Amino acid sequence: MKRSVFLFLVVMAAATVSVSAQTTPPASAVGDTFSDPVMETRARAMQRQLRCLVCQGESIDESNSPLAADLRRLVREQMAAGKTNSEIEDFLVARYGDFILMKPPLQSNTWLLWLAPFLVLGAGGAVAWITVKKASARVA
């Protein structure tokens, strides 16, 4: 009984989602949108990867600040001029530093940042292995 109720819920949930997810999202900034949906999607994805430098951790995609609006325009102008994503990124990093990237680049001063969680996971795994081995030795 409970299983069938849940089944119903899952199907309902999926159906709900299917109805609502059909439209492609338009831009956050009114006025400067691309009419080409491919370009628009690319611009939105790019905007989410760039930090609004004067806000608290917001991307330029979701910030109301004038600087974010300027940066959005800048990104779109460069895209319209045919620049690739990495060219635009390089340009912005040269201007504002790594601070503008929501995803920190993997380089000499960030490798520890990227590896640390997995180092801890590995170390934890090793300790777990030893613990379990010792405990099972006590059983025998």
Partner 1 sequence: MTGELGQLALCFALALSLVMAAAGFFGARADAHAARSIANGAAMGLLVFVVLAFATLTYAFVVSDFSIALVANHSHTLKPMIYKISGVWGNHEGSMLLWVLVLAIYAGLVAGLQRGGERLTSGALGIQGLLAAAFILFILFTSNPFVRLDPMPFEGAGLTPLLQDIGLAVHPPMLYAGYVGLSASFAYAAAALMVGEEGWARAARPFMLIAWISLTCGIALGSWWAYYELGWGGFWFWDPVENASLMPWLIATALLHSALATEKSGAFRTWTLLLAIAGFSMSLIGTFLVRSGVLSSVHAFASDPTRGFFIMILIALAIGGALALFAWRAPTLQGGAAFDPVSRETSLVLNNVFLVAACACVFVGTLYPLVLDALTGTKITVGPPYYALTFAPIFFALLLLVPFGPKLGWKRGDLKTAWRSLYPALGLAGIAAVSVLAFVSPRGVAATGAFAVAGWLIGASILDLRKRKGARASAFAAALAHAGLGVTLLGVTGTAAWRSEALQVLAPGQTMTVGPYTLRFDGVTQEKGPNYLADRAHIALMDGGKVKAMLEPETRLYAAEGQAVSDTAIRTTGLRDLYLALGDDRGQGRYAIRAYVSPLAPLIWLGALVMALGGMLSLGGRLRLRAREPASEPVAAE
What would the two tokens of residue 128 be?
Answer: 């777990």
H or E stretch at 104: none
- Does 11 engage in binding with partner 1 (CB under 8 A)? yes
Q: What are phi and psi of 59, to 5 degrees?
A: -85, 165
**Stretches 34-42, 66-74, 84-92, 117-125: which one binds partner 1 (CB under 8 A)?**
117-125
Q: What Cα–Cα distance (Å) separates residue 105 from each residue in 45, 56, 92, 93, 120?
A: 17, 20, 13, 11, 21
Residue type, 131: T
| Region binding partner 1 by CB under 8 A among candidate stretches 35-43, 74-82, 83-91, 120-128 | 120-128
Residue pair 87/78 in contact by the 8 Å Cβ criterion? yes
- Number of CB atoms found within 10 A of residue 47's CB: 23
Between residues 16 and 81, which has the closer beta carbon with respect to partner 1?
Answer: 16
Q: Which of residues 35-94 bind partner 1 (CB under 8 A)?
A: 49, 51, 56-59, 62
Of residues 80 and 113, the one with the C-beta less far from partner 1: 113
Q: What does the alpha-carbon distance between residue 134 and residue 140 come to, in Å, rounded to a whole number?
A: 10
Taking CB under 8 A as the binding criterion, the range among 35-43, 65-73, 75-83, 107-115 that sits at the site for partner 1 is: 107-115
Interface positions with partner 1 (CB under 8 A): 2-3, 6-7, 10-23, 25-30, 49, 51, 56-59, 62, 97-104, 109-110, 112-114, 116-118, 120-121, 124-125, 127-128, 131-136, 138-139
